[in-house]
Amino acid sequence: MAELRRLPPLREGDWEWQMRAKCRGTDTATFYHPENERGPSRVRRELQAKAVCAGCPVVEPCLRWALAAREPYGVWGGTSPEERDELLRAGRRTA
C-alpha cells in the first residue's frame, strides 16, 4: 500500500491521468460492490480490481485523487474504501 506522506499533492484540474487508466473501458462492477455484497464475494471482487490496479501506470495519481476526494466507494489506486480510511487516519496521526 502506498505511504500517504510520499504521494505528491493533487493539482486542481489534473485529470490527464484518467486517460491512461488501465481500468478504462473495463466493467465497473469489478471496482464497485453491488448492494448486499458481503464476505468472500467482496474479497474476490476487490482482489480482481486490485490486480488491475497493480499493473496500472497511474496508480499514484488515482490514489491521490481518491484520498483528496474522500472517495467513499470502490477500489481506487489499489485500495478499498476501508484501506483509504486507514491511510487518512494514519495521515492525521502523523500530521
Check binding of 56 to ligand SF4 (CB under 6 A).
yes
Neighbours of 69 (CB within 10 A): 11
Check binding of 30 to ligand SF4 (CB under 6 A).
no
Check binding of 77 to ligand SF4 (CB under 6 A).
yes
Residue holding cell 493533487? 10
Q: Report helix, strand and coil shares of the chain as percent, to nearest 5.
A: 55, 0, 45
CB 22 to ligand SF4: min, Å:
4
The site for ligand SF4 (CB under 6 A) is made up of 21-23, 52-53, 56, 58-59, 62, 75-78
